[in-house]
Amino acid sequence: MIRALVLALVLATPVAAQETVSAILEPAQQIDVRVSVAGRIAEIAVIEGAEVAAGALVLSIDSAVQQARVKLARLAAEATGPLQRAQTSLAQAGTMKDRIARANARGAAQAWEVTQSEQNVLLAEADLLATEESRARAVAQLELERATLSEFSVMAPFDATVLEIFAEPGETVDTQTVLITLGRLDQLVATAFVPLDWVSGLIQGDRLNVTLDDDTQREVALTFIDPRVDPASRTVRIKLQLANADRALRVGTGLVLRRP
pLDDT tens track for 202-238? 999 999 999 999 999 999 999 999 999 999 999 999 9
Angstrom distance (rounded) from CA 2 to CA 58: 70
For the chain, give the mean pLDDT: 92
Amino acid identity at 213:
D
Angstrom distance (rounded) from CA 235 to CA 201: 14
Share of residues in the chain with pLDDT > 70 (%): 94
pLDDT at site 9: 37
pLDDT at site 16: 56
Angstrom distance (rounded) from CA 50 to CA 37: 25
Beta-carbon contacts of residue 19 (< 8 Å; ≥ 6 apart): 258, 259
pTM: 0.75
pLDDT in tens, 152-202: 999 999 999 999 999 999 999 999 999 999 999 999 999 999 999 999 999
pLDDT confidence tier of residue 260, bands split at 50, 70 and 90 = confident
Let me know if 15 is exposed, middle or buried by CB neighbors in 10 A (0-12, 13-18, 19+): exposed
Reading phi first (left if > 0) and then psi (alpha if -120 to 50, else beta), residue 166 is in alpha
N residues, the chain: 260
